[in-house]
Structure formats: structure tokens, C-alpha cells
Amino acid sequence: MSQNDSNLTVNIVIMENGKMPHYASKEAAGADLYASLPDGPIILEPNGGRALVPTSIIIELPKGYEAQIRPRSGLAVNNGVTVLNSPGTIDSDYRGEIKVPLINHGKEPFTIVHHLRIAQMVISPVIRSTFKTVDTANETERGSDGFGSTGV
């Protein structure tokens, strides 16, 4: 069985007015998340307007997994709207409602309406590390060369 044939069951509580996450294509890595705004839209003002947008879902991830909340490329390219702390992480022990922090980098107001696809959720395995103090780090060819050191 290839990695793409695997399937993981994630329990989801759909609160009132929530909508089940949905994979938009057969090979999609991320499942779309929907705004839950039954009382009316949220307007993201241009040039940095922000909002924490509810989804009315709670997920129960198995231990050893996380959910990454990522932007939708269409919203980013067409409207300048993206996830503020991208990617956001939902830990396996979190049991609250998923809310998505969005920001409008565009030059026009953007209206978020009920059940608009606002982000995507990717479920990934987590590897936890043991951190060990050492006196020096091993040398590499790159060394401490940082931003832009490998070219444009």
C-alpha cells in the first residue's frame, strides 16, 4: 500500500451551523474549512483587516497527529486574504472549536459569508524530538550563511 492509499479516521463534532470539511478533489491534500457565520457576514477591511472566523467544528485527532490550517490559494491570489499564522497548528489534545485567523492584505474590503471556504486543513503525523545540549554544532559546507545565501 502506498502512502497515498492510507486513510486516517478523525472524529469531528459538527456544531450548529457547522459544515463537514471537504476534499475538493480526489488527490487534494487539504480539506476545505467553512466559515460558520449564520448571524451575518464579517468584512475584512483592506490593508491588514483581521478576524478570527469560527468554523463550528471540533476535531479529535489521534495522538501523534496535528492539523495544519493553511490558506486557500484562490483567496490569497485573487483577494489578498490569507491565514494570519500560516500554517496554524491544531494539537491532538485540543478539543475546542477551530477558528481561523484571517487577514486581508488586499486593497479592497473582503466579505466572508456563511459557509464560504476560508482555509484548508492538512492532517500530518508529528515527530517529537528530544533536545540535547552540546557545546558546538557540526560544521557544514554552508555554515552560518543565512537568508539569500544560495542565490535568488
What CATH number does residue 58 fall under?
2.70.40.10
End-to-end CA distance of the chain: 39
From 3-12, 27-36, 78-87, the region with the lowest mean pLDDT: 3-12
What is the average pLDDT score of the chain?
A: 94
- The residue segments making up the domain with residue 41 are 3-125
Assess if residue 90 is contained within a domain: yes
What's the CA gap between 93 and 102, in Å, rounded? Answer: 23
Assess if residue 91 is contained within a domain: yes
Average the pLDDT over 77-96 and give the result: 96
Residue 4 has pLDDT above 70, yes or no: no
pLDDT digits (tens, 9 = 90+) for 87-133: 999 999 999 999 999 999 999 999 999 999 999 999 999 999 999 99
Assess if residue 10 is contained within a domain: yes
How much is the pTM? 0.88
Q: What's the pLDDT score for residue 1?
A: 39
Assess if residue 99 is contained within a domain: yes
Confidence of residue 79 (pLDDT cuts 50, 70, 90): very high
Average the pLDDT over 21-41 and give the result: 97
Average the pLDDT over 29-57 and give the result: 98
Q: What letter represents residue 11's amino acid?
A: N
Assess if residue 130 is contained within a domain: no
Residue 2 has pLDDT above 80, yes or no: no
Assess if residue 48 is contained within a domain: yes
Structurally, the chain folds into a number of domains equal to: 1
Assess if residue 139 is contained within a domain: no
Confidence of residue 142 (pLDDT cuts 50, 70, 90): confident
What's the CA gap between 122 and 87, in Å, rounded? Answer: 10
Assess if residue 25 is contained within a domain: yes
